[in-house]
Chains A and B, each alone.
Chain A
Amino acid sequence: MMEAKVIVEAKDLTMNYHTLDGETAAIKDLNLQVYEGEFVSIIGPSGCGKSTLLSLIAGLLTPSNGAVLVKGEVVSGPNPNVGYMPQRDQLFPWRNILNNVLIGLEVQHKLNDETREKAKELLSTYGLGDFIHHYPNQLSGGMRQRAALIRTLAINPEILLLDESFSALDYQTRLAVSDEVRSIIYKEKKTSILVTHDIAEAISMSDRIIVLTKRPATVKNIHEIRLSCDELSPIKRREAPEFRSYFNQIWKELDVK
């Protein structure tokens, strides 16, 4: 890893949900650091509060206790430095691809000729240049996912949050898309946090994997992924000899019964 500079940090983060039936602790005293430029996966048993953690980092929720810091500042609401990529592409079917990609800029009142051109450039760099006037239902699942990523990149965030962004895709598309997304993120030099329950996906894409415990979630273990191949491509990385041992280790830690 390069210069180890912390860009996202959770400090004693605690999050409780309240319903009439009582109080549920989703996250308890969770501490973690994410360094600039790295790709971190957060993995944990289903329902452990992974997505809650991402919503806290995105500033959509206010923690019960503790804080999330992005670039040293306490998160108190949505932050233009943080881009969020949802489960499924969530492209708006009534907007064409270009207008879908521009929506973040529109919302943030940053839409001008320059940012529009930049968004178009991103679209053509990543193979969607001929489709900017198409509607989402005219595109394949993989292309839609790419458009969704470009929509996030268009606001030029430093940090990307990927919320099980590939889980809705079929297996082959999923492999192809995670490959594409990884290479795009590498080229655009973004710090990325991926929430997933797919161990193989996490190992193949990440520099580090943070394993969470069952609810209330806290950090169980952190794995530095060092594969003996220099490849960046997640598909190739799956062939590395160390892949299986990481897989088994994490599988055990997840304690799935």
Chain B
Amino acid sequence: MINGNPHISREHQAYLQAVKLEQMKIVISRVAILVIFVVGWELAARWKMVDPFITSQPSRIWATLVNLHSEGLLYHHIGITTTETVIGFVSGTIIGTFLAVILWWSEFLSKVLDPYLVVLNALPKIALGPILIVWIGNGSPAIVAMALLISLIVTVISVHSGFVQVDEAKIKLLRTFGATKWQILQKVILPASVPTIVSALKINVGLSWVGVIVGEFLVSRAGLGYLIVYGGQVFNLDLVMTSVMILAIEAALMYQGVIYLEKSLGKWQ
């Protein structure tokens, strides 16, 4: 398309080519960083510049991965952590939005609860971990609760402020048609806040990973967080590094998934 079209002027062609070249440079540089990092790590370990017992190395990570795969444990751990995370951020977003609706509905309630929300938001939720374990028990439910807790308050606050910022003039327009509060919620507030809710969802994906991994550090017998802690305890850094790698890839994939969702929801934008 760039070279073939005779209607494009030479100048424009040169411009398009320059843009293309720039993009290629970016991609190549990105890949190069990854390759240099992995190869450098591997060589440094082989040439004993670093101690692979402490730093692990790419070939050992690969071996660990293959090993976990053949033992069939890999997907078990990944599955558990992923499930907990998804439940965490989905429920965090849904429950948070629901609570934000309640606060929007009653301005009085929102004013009353404001200082409590501020305190809860400022509190490092991880400090509540031991309480959750005592209350809910040692296992997945406590981990999910941790993930939920971490994302819930910030969701309530950000979604509620999104609701409040919806253009007054649009609300006024609906009121002139005689709209009820419920109709205003349904027809303006919620649809106008889809971008806010999706951006809360995006933040919650990250927070939920934090909650789940911390939760698994504290209580679990399975999952990637468990593998990391266990690997650390028995000084198996290969296992730790492998789990961290998987975590990085998965977190990135999940984030991409949410961005994809955002795009398909926001076609009108």
Are the C-beta atoms of B179 and A107 separated by less than 8 Å? yes
Are the C-beta atoms of B169 and A108 separated by less than 8 Å? no
Contact of A60 among B172, B191, B268, B269 (CB under 8 A): B172
List B contacts of A71 (CB < 8 A). none
CA gap between A93 and B194 in the complex, in Å? 12
Scoring A82, A86, A104, A107 by chain B CB atoms within 10 A of each residue's CB, the highest score goes to A107
Are the C-beta atoms of A60 and B194 separated by less than 8 Å? no
Are the C-beta atoms of A107 and B183 separated by less than 8 Å? yes
The answer to whether the Cβ of A103 comes within 8 Å of any Cβ in the partner chain is yes
List A contacts of B187 (CB < 8 A). 92, 103, 106-107
List A contacts of B192 (CB < 8 A). 92, 94
The answer to whether the Cβ of A66 comes within 8 Å of any Cβ in the partner chain is no
Are the C-beta atoms of A104 and B268 separated by less than 8 Å? no
Are the C-beta atoms of A58 and B174 separated by less than 8 Å? no
Are the C-beta atoms of A78 and B170 separated by less than 8 Å? no
Name which residue of chain A comes closest to B267, CB basis.
Answer: A135
Are the C-beta atoms of A77 and B178 separated by less than 8 Å? yes
Contact of B169 among A80, A88, A93, A103 (CB under 8 A): A88
Name which residue of chain B comes closest to A82, CB basis.
Answer: B176
Which applies to chain B's interface (DSSP): helix, strand, loop or mixed? helix
Check A108/B269 contact, CB under 8 A, given A87-B169, A90-B167, A92-B188: no
Check A94/B191 contact, CB under 8 A, given A86-B169, A88-B169, A135-B268: yes
Within 8 A of A (CB), among B213-233: none
Within 8 A of B (CB), among A102-127: 103-104, 106-108
List B contacts of A166 (CB < 8 A). none
Check A78/B268 contact, CB under 8 A, given A90-B167, A107-B183, A107-B187: no
CA gap between A80 and B179 in the complex, in Å? 11
Are the C-beta atoms of B177 and A107 separated by less than 8 Å? yes
Give A20 Cβ to nearest chain B Cβ, in Å. 15
Give A163 Cβ to nearest chain B Cβ, in Å. 9
Contact of A103 among B167, B174, B175, B194 (CB under 8 A): B174
The answer to whether the Cβ of A155 comes within 8 Å of any Cβ in the partner chain is yes
CA gap between A31 and B191 in the complex, in Å? 41
CA gap between A58 and B177 in the complex, in Å? 9
List B contacts of A39 (CB < 8 A). none
The answer to whether the Cβ of B173 comes within 8 Å of any Cβ in the partner chain is yes
Are the C-beta atoms of A92 and B191 separated by less than 8 Å? yes
Check A103/B177 contact, CB under 8 A, given A87-B169, A92-B191: yes
One digit per residue, 1 when the CB lies within 8 angstroms of any chain B CB and 0 when it does not, for chain A 69-100 equals 00000000111101110111010111100000
List A contacts of B188 (CB < 8 A). 92
Are the C-beta atoms of B173 and A84 separated by less than 8 Å? yes
Name which residue of chain A comes closest to B184, CB basis.
Answer: A107
CA gap between A58 and B269 in the complex, in Å? 31
CA gap between A103 and B191 in the complex, in Å? 13
List B contacts of A80 (CB < 8 A). 178
List, sorted by A's number, 21 A–B pairs whose CB atoms are closer than 8 Å. A60-B172, A60-B175, A60-B176, A77-B178, A78-B178, A84-B173, A86-B172, A86-B173, A88-B169, A90-B167, A90-B170, A90-B173, A92-B188, A93-B269, A94-B194, A107-B177, A107-B187, A108-B177, A108-B178, A135-B268, A137-B269
A positions within 8 Å CB-CB of B: 58-60, 77-80, 82-84, 86-88, 90, 92-95, 103-104, 106-108, 135, 137, 155, 161
4 closest cross-chain pairs (CB), A and B: A84-B176, A78-B178, A107-B177, A104-B177
